Structure formats: structure tokens, C-alpha cells
A and B are shown apart, each in its own frame.
Chain A
Amino acid sequence: MIPLQYYLLLAGILFAIGAYGIMTLSNGIRLLMCVELMLNAANMNLIAFSTHINDASGQVFALFSIALAAAEAAVGFAIILMVYRLRAKIDIENIKLLRW
């Protein structure tokens, strides 16, 4: 039985990697991957806690969260695909049409 702290540590590290990626990267696909990392860190927390208190509802929530993440990723990739078709680039720094 792996203690709870290890799960939480792993989740914290995953989250920090994702947050670092979001703050520093400009490639659209990498950004989305970072978002996924952060989401999965949260999911891991849910599952770890649910096992810890012996209650399955946390795992159910994790399933919901995964489904939502899939939907969000689909939308995100669709947008990035369209941007790529228009600009032949997916650097989001270049997408500033609506800025002052």
C-alpha cells in the first residue's frame, strides 16, 4: 500500500510542471498538453483521496473530469487547427487580432 503522501507529491509535481509550461511556452499544442497535465494532477488527487477514505464517489468525479477534459481538448485542438490553416503557425503570441 503506497501511502497517500506519495500520490499527493506526484500530483503536486505534475501540476507544477503543467503550470510552468503554461507560463513559459507559446506553442498551442504544448499549452494544451500542459493544461491536460494540470487536470490529471487534479484527477490523481481525487482518486487518491477517494481510496484513502474508502468512498467511490471521488473516482466517479474523476471520470466526469476526464470526459470534460476530452471535450475541452477537442475544442482546443479544433481552434488550433483552424489557426494553423489560417496562419500556418500555432504560436499563440501571433494571435492578437482583437487586441488594442
Chain B
Amino acid sequence: MSDVATATTALMDFRPYAHWIMLLPMIGFLLELLIGKYWWRKGGMFATLSILGSVIISYGCLYNVYVQHLGFWEYSWDWFYPGIVAGFTIDPLSLAMLCMVSFISFFIHFYAIGYMSHDCAKNVYFAETALFTGSMFGLVLANNLLQLFIFWEMVGVCSYLLIGFWWHKPEAAAAGKKAWMSCAVGDCLFLLGIAMMYTIMVKQGITTEIISFNNIFQNLEHLSHETIFGMSALTIICILFMCGVLGKSAGFPLHVWIPDAMEGPTTVSALIHAATMVTAGVYLIARAFPIFLAAPNALMIVAFMGAFTALYASTLGLVVNDLKRIFAYSTISQLGYMIAILGCGAVLGVAAVAYALFHLVAHAFFKALLFLSSGSVLHGIGNVRDIKEMGGLLKGMPWTGYAMLAGALALIAFPFTAGYYSKDKVIEEAYIYAVHDGGLGYLPWIFLVLGVILTATYTFRAWYLAMTGEPRSYPAIRPHECGFWMKTTLVVLSVFALGLGFLTADWSKGIISGLFSGGAKFWHFLEETFVHETHTASGVVYEGLNLHDIALLGGNTLMEHGAHPPQWVILLPLILMIAGLAIATMVYYKNRVDVSKYVKKDNPLYQILWNKYYLDYIFKDIIAEKIIMTVFTFWDVLDRYVIDGVVNLMSWITIQSGQVSRKLQTGVVQNYATAVIFGVSMLMILVIMLRGGL
């Protein structure tokens, strides 16, 4: 034990350098943009190396906290106004995100060196992805709401730029715009929520660290008495935050941008779906979890929205034929699982954050793998994306095919893959929430369980149609396997997608504590997030929170001890997954069942799914073109004839009076001279008269 201790203390304290995790990719962005074009392979080196630096610092911080037990750390500076700070925080929650984002982003950059090798604007691409990653680091490290919001928007800007990276394609340009506008709806409301939080914090007489998370948590008891329009202020704030989350994390109904975002390069889809964009929303709820806990009904809304999104998106995944869009819908669905389990935190407490975060991390690995392998498919058969035109690709590209199989198995939670440990835990805990809450509380669990069977079906529908059977189009006959950079990435991510359960499985407990001198399981590590004290560089110590008391403020009662669901609940997701897998195998591999008579345009159910529940129609044709256009037409008439009319009338009057009065100016010198002499004479006569004679 003593030699372990000396070995662990030998490593430096990385925590004071945490801001470099964010700054390095930003520097990479600048270098890549300015001089990237003239260096190695015309771009890619600076971005990849700077993110490698972030990986090192992130894992250094993780080692400090997880193995060396150096404690949570926070430091901040006064920014532009007393009480508004810029600061960085290192705790298990941010560490889990940092390590996942940096690692996956690094490998996506590594892959992109191969994937983007033929693109002419390679350095711009790498500059934008480096900025994207750096913004996400900034978002994760932020210790206050305003800083988080700024990086939140920067992430949005980068996603807009990257989705529309091939801007010369009109659909890519439109997709970028759609992503930006859908997120903007949520972001406006999120900003409103931040402003409200600022207001009620100032009302408490707080003058320092006004919207820093830790300070808000310390004052939740006072804040919970604040009301706006007769409702609890915290609930309103949480609903506004939730709107931001729905935009960014693609919750129903603001998810519409995600499928269209597939127009960007596949590496960008992988970044957005795994590491840098959609996880931000889940992270926001996790980071602000005590606020949600203290707000009455807020977590219930979170749970229902999440579970509904999970089921809703997985129904859509069944009918789409675009390989990337199938995975896009699966992302929306899996994010629904994460948000739902965070909502179950009303009963589970901080454990819910741990379960959500583990599913987030596991999902990031297998979703990055799925996107990168589908990118390899696209690369190999000339950008054909329709799975009906693929088939039999496994023979031509075995590396890609088996990598995608690994990702798909993890996605459907096949036993002993990463998804099995993360998703099944989520479903079990949702059942505990259901039993505890009773009545409507069963709905999230039912939605999540139903989602399992659909997930298994649509995932393997995609895999079977793409990889097995006979080639159904000319490009699919001779696919070419990807090169070194892409193959390496696929192998690394496959290993993680299959083996990440190691971090939480029962069988690995002894190995982990042996390796890391008593390091706890992933969940137990994350459960320390809010309940342990945080030290700041300025010497202030934030006490750990008593989540039981905080839950009582919101009318929630946490469970005292972890409950175990009955055996059938644990087995149910597994059985349903196998059922879904069997359906997919029967229909799309063995071809025993013919579904073509249902999969037709005149089947109303199919039509609804094919049209994505008409949500695009409602948003674009009804809300945008009918309602908003009508309002704008009225406004236009008002503007043109009333407001402009007043302005034009004023100017007309001025011009006309000028026209008349300028005739007074004759331009003849004699007239002026006469006027001057006449005026002076009159003045003199006046003066003489007033003085009463000479």
C-alpha cells in the first residue's frame, strides 16, 4: 500500500490548470484557422494535438480526485460586475463529462484525418471542430449559469457552422439554419430562466457569486419561498431550463433539427451526438440537479418529457431508410432515457445523476462508434445513405461491419456490453421510481420498457439491411474498406462500447479498487458530487448538501436505502430486447415474415410515422407559414401605412414649407443690401425713439 501511495503522490496536481482543458482547443482553433492550411496534410494537426492536451489534463484531474482524493476544486474571478464571476469547477460530474468528451472528441478528430482527407477546406473543418470541443469543455467546466450559457450558445454556433459545412448543398444550409432556430427557441427561454434566477438571488441580498451553482445550492432554502404569479419561482425557472434542454438535447417537440443535421459530415454527426452537443442538455439538468430537486413538480415534468421522447423517437426510427437518420432517432430516444432517469431523481436522489451520467458516457462511446462506422460505410460506397440501396456490405468492409455490430449490440443493451449495464440500470431504477410514486409514476417506466423492443428492432433492421443479404445497388457491390486512421478509431471505440460496463459491473469491483487504490465504482464516485464539500481557490468552502432536506423543499421524499426491483423487472428489458432482435432477424435477415403489405403509403399508421407525426408540417407549414406569416402580414400593413405614413407626412410638411419659404431668398445682392440698410435704419430710429430724441 505504501508504494502505491508514493506512486500516487508523485503525480502533480492538475486541478489548477483545468482552464487549459478549455483553452487548448481554442488555441488549436486559431492555429488551425490561420496557419493550418500550410502544415501537415493541409490541416488537422493542431486541432488533434490540442485536444490530446485536453485529454491529458482531464485524466490528470480525474486521477487527482478519483485516486489521490485531493477533493473537489473550484476557482473563480470577478468578471464584469460585482457578483458575476468567471470560474471553473472540478467535481465528479464535470470530470465524467470532461474525460468522456475529450477522449471521444480526440478519436473523432483522429478519424477525421482520414475521413476528411479529400476535403478542400480541411483546416476550416478542423478549426470548427476544435472550437466546438473547446466550447463544450467550457460549458462543462463552468461554475456559474452565465458562463455555461455563453458556452452553450457557442456550442450552438459551432453546430450551425458544422452542420452547414457543405454549405453549397442547399439541404445542408437549410439543416444548419433549422438546428440553429430550433435551439434558439429553447435558448431564449433558458436565458429568461437565468435572469429570473439572478433576480431572486439578488432579492435574498446576495452580492457575491450570484449565479454560481454552489452558491445557489447553499441558498435553496430561502429561494424556495419565492413565488412568481402565485407559482413557486424555482418551478418556473426549472421549466424554463427544461425548455433549453429540450432544444439542445433534442427533446420532444424541439428535436426536429436532429434528423436534418445528418447533412453535415458524419464526423460532425458523431461529435454532436456523442460528445459535444446533445449531451449538454442532460449535463445542465445534472449540474442543476439540486435546484430541480427543490422545485415542486419540476422533476416530474422532466421524467415525463424524457420518457415520452424516448418512446416517441424510437417509433420514428422504425420507418426511416436513411442509415444516419436511424441512428439520429436512436440518439433522441437514448437522450430521453437519460432525461427520464434524471426526473426519477425525485425519488432516487443523486444516484439518478450517476445513472444518467453513466448512460450518457456509455451512449457516447457506442453512438460515436455507430456514426463513425456509418461514416465509413458512406465513405466506402460513395455517399449512398439509403439502407435500401446497401446490402451485403459485411463481405467488402468487415472492419466497419463488425464495428457497427459492436455499436448496435451496445445500443440495444445486449448482455455484457456497455449499454447493458447503463440502460438496464436506468430501466430498473425507473421501476423503483414507479413503485414509490404509484399511479401515473408507472408511465415513464412503461415508456422506457416499450422503447427497448423498438430500439432492438430498428437498430438491427438497419444493420441487417446494410450489412447482410445481397447488394441492392451498383455502389454496394464493390465497397472499399476504410484506411488506417478510421480503422484504428473504430477498433478503439468498439473495445469501449463492448467493455465499458467494466466501470460499474459487480464482477469488476475488486479489480477497480485494486488498480486505483480503493477507487469506487463509477456510480459511487458520481454520487459524491453534491454531497461532499467543495474547496475554492479563494478559501471559501461550500458545505456538502443534505439532499434529503432539499428534496423536502420541493415536496419530494428521497428513499433512505437503495431498493432492489423484483427479478422479473430486471429480466424484462432483456426479454424484450431479445424479442425485438428476433423480430428484426425474422423480418430482415431470414425474410420469414413479409412486412411489405404494412410498409405502404396507404397504411395510415405508416403514413403518420413516415411523416414524423406531421411535426415538421405543423412547425413549418402551420406555425411558421400560416400563423407567423399572417401576423407578419398584418404587421407589415400597419408598418407600411400607419407608422411609415406618419413619418412620411412629417417629411412632406417640412419639404413643402421649405419650398414656399425659400422663395424669400432672391439671391440679388441689392435686395439684401436694402434689407440690411432698412433694418439698421429702423433699429436706429427705434433706439432714438426709446431714448426720447437725440
Contact = CB atoms under 8 A, between A and B. Distances in A.
A and B held together in a complex: yes
B670 interface: yes
Contacts of A99: 665-667
Interface in B618-668: 662-663, 665-668
User: Binding site of B, secondary structure by majority: helix, strand, loop or mixed?
Assistant: helix
B-side interface size class: 10 to 19
B674 A96 contact: no
Given A23-B674, A23-B677, A100-B662, A31 B667 contact: no
A79 to B, nearest CB: 12
A24 B670 contact: yes
B665 A92 contact: no
Contact of A92 (B663, B666, B669): B669
Contacts of A98: 667
A46 to B, nearest CB: 18
A57 interface: no
Interface in A10-64: 19, 22-26, 31
A95 to B, nearest CB: 8
A19 B669 CA distance: 12
* Interface magnitude class on chain A: 10 to 19
Given A19-B677, A100-B662, A26 B667 contact: no
Contacts of A23: 670, 673-674, 677
A37 B417 CA distance: 113
Contacts of A93: 668
A100 B659 CA distance: 9
Contact of B670 (A26, A96, A100): A26
Interface string A58-100: 0000000000000000000000000000000000110010111
Nearest to B667: A99
Nearest to A96: B667
Nearest to B658: A100
A22 B670 CA distance: 6
A85 B308 CA distance: 92
B663 A31 contact: no
A68 B662 CA distance: 33
25 contacts: A19-B673, A19-B677, A22-B669, A22-B670, A22-B673, A22-B677, A23-B670, A23-B674, A23-B677, A24-B670, A25-B670, A26-B670, A31-B669, A92-B668, A92-B669, A93-B668, A96-B667, A96-B668, A98-B667, A99-B665, A99-B666, A99-B667, A100-B662, A100-B663, A100-B665
Interface of B: 662-663, 665-670, 673-674, 677
